[in-house]
Amino acid sequence: MDAAWHPVALSGDIEPATSAGFKLFGQELVVWRDDKGTAHVWEDRCPHRGMRLSFGFVRGNHLACLYHGWQYDRSGQCRHIPAHPDLEVPPTITVPVYKAREWAGIIWTSLDHDAAPGEEIAGIPAVAVRSVYLDKPVATAIAALVANGLDDGDAVRQLGQNLCLVKSATSQLLAAFQPVSETRTGMHVVALDVAPDKPLKDLARIVEAFRDSLSGEVRVG
């Protein structure tokens, strides 16, 4: 079991009462945010008939399946079956739940249910820049960033297994790498420090150009 924490989405991309599907090592997972603002990461599969929970709806502190409306509380326990509203739902009807935490403007999870909470750096101010997906293994994507930076003149330092600090003359960025599968990688980029005359959309374009350079695509426009 992989005990590391992996980034799955920019915090700002998962608004309260929304959900989204993603993959980690090929496993389908859902990330959703409840009405209190807490992010959750679960297996993306309803125990009833297997519908993706990422297609469902957040109802306060429950996630409801799109198909037959079964509702699951924050612990993954089914609490309500609309077709049988008076039924006391058996405690065996649960969705596998993974740990989730937010750090530096990014939502992280671990597939190891016993993973240590990980090092916290409290109050690190980070602004979302861009998430992109690269058709490369995670090691190739990190090696390309370390070798070339996102842009000319960048200095890149790898901080951990899946995290790099990218420094340029006008910005300091964190790039966190999500192993989507053996051949595909998510890269979630946040800004720690940006010169006032450097708009975030310029940084987003630089991130997109890095993605395009790895895929061999020619940028247009």
Kindly list the residues in this chain that would bind ligand FES in the complex (CB under 6 A).
46, 48-49, 51, 65, 67-68, 70
Nearest residue (CB) to ligand FES, 42 versus 177 = 42
**Would you say 39 and 33 are in contact if contact means Cβ atoms under 8 Å apart?**
yes
Nearest residue (CB) to ligand FES, 65 versus 191 = 65
Three-class DSSP labels, 86-115: CCCCCCCCECCEEEEEEECCEEEEECCCCC
Quote the least distance from Cβ 99 to ligand FES, whole Å.
23
Nearest residue (CB) to ligand FES, 44 versus 151 = 44
Nearest residue (CB) to ligand FES, 20 versus 146 = 20
11 φ, ψ (degrees, to nearest 5): -55, -40
Quote the least distance from Cβ 81 to ligand FES, whole Å.
8
Residue 55 and residue 66: Cα distance in Å, rounded? Answer: 6
Nearest residue (CB) to ligand FES, 68 versus 84 = 68
Quote the least distance from Cβ 67 to ligand FES, whole Å.
4
Quote the least distance from Cβ 111 to ligand FES, whole Å.
23
Cα-only R_g, the chain = 19
Nearest residue (CB) to ligand FES, 95 versus 176 = 95
E-strand ranges in the chain read 6-10, 19-24, 27-33, 39-43, 57-59, 62-64, 71-72, 78-80, 97-103, 106-110, 127-134, 155-160, 163-167, 171-179, 185-194
**Would you say 56 and 64 are in contact if contact means Cβ atoms under 8 Å apart?**
yes
